[in-house]
């Protein structure tokens, strides 16, 4: 059964995939994987066409989306020519090793993609956890407004994503679901 919300993402080594799963838990959305060749199945494209909201996800590689995500983005030009995603809701998330690591550039790439398609972008809408008393387990400790950010040390396993980032991803998914209900 098709979902109103789709989370379409690429992950090279599984960390961003774990984040995508948390967004799916929060939103009730369907997970769609861009594979290691940058391809999405025909069923995946059909799911996106039927969705009310599309959440884009990619690791940050060299300060941008992965080439696999970019291949998917370029392939969406076919949808663009039919204005197939116009007025759908959109959001984005990324994960990288550095606390900063130029993640904002990745979110901007996703934002630009959404605007080329005429979509409506949703930020986190979350207050930052930036007080002296804040901890890494807090929601939005990375203080991102444009989209969901997570930081996973370069030598951390998939099972070592920060609890705070997973909670943030879940809350981000809940926000996406709430906005879909509001603007449906
Ligand atoms: C080719 C490559 C480029 C990377 N570039 C960056 C970067 O620009 N900034 C950063 O903070 N981390 C960078 N990283 C680290 C990854 O973002 C990090 O390992 C992330 O958890 C990988 O997610 P994944 O397991 O979903 O692929 C890079 C890793 C690779 C393999």
Residue 115's CB is within 10 A of a number of other CB atoms, namely 12
Q: How far apart are CA 32 and CA 18, in angstroms?
A: 13
72 class by beta-carbon count within 10 Å (0-12 exposed, 13-18 middle, 19+ buried): buried
CA 68 vs CA 1, 61, 87: distances in Å: 27, 11, 25
Q: Summarize pLDDT for 117-162 with one digit per residue, the tens.
A: 999 999 999 999 999 999 999 999 999 999 999 999 999 999 999 9
Which residues approach ligand 1 with their CB closer than 6 A? 11-16, 59-63, 95-98, 101-102, 152, 154
Q: Pick the residue whose CA is nearest to atom 16 on ligand 1.
A: 96
Say how many Å lie between the CA of residue 60 and the centre of ligand 1: 5
Number of domains in the chain: 1
Which residue's alpha carbon is at the smallest distance from atom 28 of ligand 1? 61
Ligand 1 atom with least separation from CA of 62 = 8
Measured by CA distance, the residue closest to atom 3 of ligand 1 is: 61
Residue 102 is predicted with a pLDDT of 98
- Nearest CA residue ID for atom 27, ligand 1: 12
- The C-alpha atoms of residue 150 and residue 45 are separated, in whole angstroms, by 26
CATH number, domain containing residue 47: 3.40.50.360
CA–centroid distance, residue 150 to ligand 1 (Å): 11
pLDDT in tens, 11-38: 999 999 999 999 999 999 999 999 999 9
CA dist., res. 134 & res. 129, Å (int): 6
Residue 168: give the domain boundaries.
5-183
Ligand 1 centroid to Cα of residue 66, in Å, is 9
pLDDT digits (tens, 9 = 90+) for 57-83: 999 999 999 999 999 999 999 999 999
- Which 8-state DSSP code applies to residue 136? T
Q: Complex ipTM, two decimals?
A: 0.99
């Amino acid at each position: 059964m098709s979902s109103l919300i789709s989370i379409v993402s690429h992950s090279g080594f599984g960390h961003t995939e774990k984040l995508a799963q948390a967004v799916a838990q929060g939103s009730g959305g369907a997970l769609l994987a861009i594979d290691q060749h940058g391809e999405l199945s025909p069923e995946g494209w059909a799911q996106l066409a039927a969705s009310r909201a599309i959440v884009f996800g990619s690791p940050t590689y060299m300060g941008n989306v992965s080439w696999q995500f970019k291949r998917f983005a370029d392939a969406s030009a076919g949808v663009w020519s039919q204005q197939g995603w116009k007025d759908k809701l959109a959001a984005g998330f990324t994960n990288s090793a550095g606390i900063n690591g130029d993640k904002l550039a990745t979110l901007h790439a996703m934002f630009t993609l959404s605007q080329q398609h005429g979509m409506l972008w949703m930020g986190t809408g979350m207050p930052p956890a930036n007080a002296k008393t804040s901890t890494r387990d807090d929601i939005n400790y990375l203080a991102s407004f444009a989209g969901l950010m997570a930081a996973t040390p370069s030598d951390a396993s998939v099972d070592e994503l920060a609890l705070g980032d997973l909670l943030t991803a879940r809350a981000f998914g809940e926000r996406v679901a709430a906005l879909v209900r509001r603007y449906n």
